[in-house]
Amino acid sequence: MMILEQIRENVPVGAFGLFSNQYPILLNRPLPLLFHEYSNTAFHFTVSALREFENEKIVANNRYLFPSVIFWFLSLESYISTLFKVSLLKAGISEDEWKKEQNESLRYKFSRIHINLFNKKNPNRGHFSPLIEEFCIYRNSLFHDAYFFQVNNYEKTFFSKIPDHSNEIDLMQSLLITLDSMFFYKNSLTGLNLMPNILIGERWIRLDTLFESYIQPTFQQICVKKGVETHINFSPRKLKTRNSCNCGFILVVNSEGLTYEKSFEYTNITEKNYQQLIKPIEDKTTFLLPDYTDNYKS
């Protein structure tokens, strides 16, 4: 019998990583590209959010909105952290220093990338723009549920001052700010393009291409349908660093791994059991509210 906890000791099939024989620490484990996973999740959450937004008749909470925003921030933070770890490898710091550096702020990581990778002596905060700073403020108010009396004021973005009143424009801003940094650094490692690849059907398509060919026109068409407008600028800045670090990195993909012991047979357990949760409502005009009272009955 396979034990799920023990399975985690193995690299999943399809996991992406960066490898370079210049750094012995990577011989046993390539540097993982978690931003690849996060970006794929964020994209597909965004598609679900757009589907829901398209056919909402009333202004209501979009159940895919916050998951989309959260995963775009995770994608951005992981993207910068990946480059930051590369910069630490290049700087040749000790394991103890590495552990200490990993706990530093996102602003600090932007700065160290430019110092260690691009040999900039006074990078200030690198590409850490006011847009990213305000994204961090908005993200913190969501992650830590840390708002009520305090209203966030934004000068460079249109994020909702009251986070629980957020709508689809907050999602679009999150994506645009993330895409801006990804575009800026995509060629920062010689020979690689680090723009996330998103799995669409059986093809991989780069995120910047998907934004221009699918997300932007889809969102704008939905806005026209619903009779709404926005002040946001949908043209990504497309600034790109001219610096590139020749660290000898290549992309590696794990193609071998474990398979479950029992032979594969397609089943429908999840959907079947879920359908049993759904009970028909006799009065179709009834709108049921969530029940947080002590008298709750399922």
Tens of pLDDT, residue by residue over 121-160, are 665 555 778 899 999 999 988 888 777 767 788 999 999 9
Name the average pLDDT for the chain.
86
Copy the structure tokens of residue 169: 């424009």
Q: Which residues contact 291 (CB under 8 A, 6 or more apart)?
A: none
Kindly report the backbone phi and psi dihedral angles of residue 144, in degrees, each rounded to the nearest multiple of 5, phi listed first.
-100, 5
Residue 114 in domain:
yes
Look at residue 280 and tell me whether its pLDDT is greater than 80.
no
Do residues 216 and 89 lie in contact, with contact meaning Cβ atoms separated by under 8 Å? no
Q: How far apart are CA 35 and CA 76, in angstroms?
A: 7
How many domains is the chain built from? Answer: 1
Residue 1 in domain:
no
Residue 296 in domain:
no
Residue 275 in domain:
no
Residue 147 in domain:
yes
The pLDDT of residue 114 is: 84
Give the structural domain span for 117: 14-264
Q: pTM of the prediction?
A: 0.89
Do residues 68 and 168 lie in contact, with contact meaning Cβ atoms separated by under 8 Å? no
Residue 2 in domain:
no
Look at residue 253 and tell me whether its pLDDT is greater than 60.
yes
E strand spans, the chain: 16-19, 31-32, 197-200, 203-206, 250-253
Residue 297 in domain:
no
The pLDDT of residue 123 is: 56
Residue 274 in domain:
no
Q: How far apart are CA 39 and CA 18, in angstroms?
A: 17
Query: Can you tell me whether residue 121 is helix, strand or coil?
Result: coil
Q: How far apart are the first and last CA of the chain?
A: 36
The pLDDT of residue 162 is: 87
Q: Sign of torsion, CA 109 114 119 121?
A: negative
Q: How far apart are CA 239 and CA 242, in angstroms?
A: 9
Strands 16-19 and 31-32: antiparallel
pLDDT tens digit sequence for 63-112: 999 999 999 999 999 999 999 999 888 888 777 787 778 778 888 888 88
- pLDDT band for position 281 (cuts 50, 70, 90): low
The pLDDT of residue 284 is: 63
The pLDDT of residue 228 is: 93
Q: Which residues of 201-226 are buried (b: 16+ CB within 10 A; e: fewer)?
A: eeeebebbebbeebbbebbeebbeee
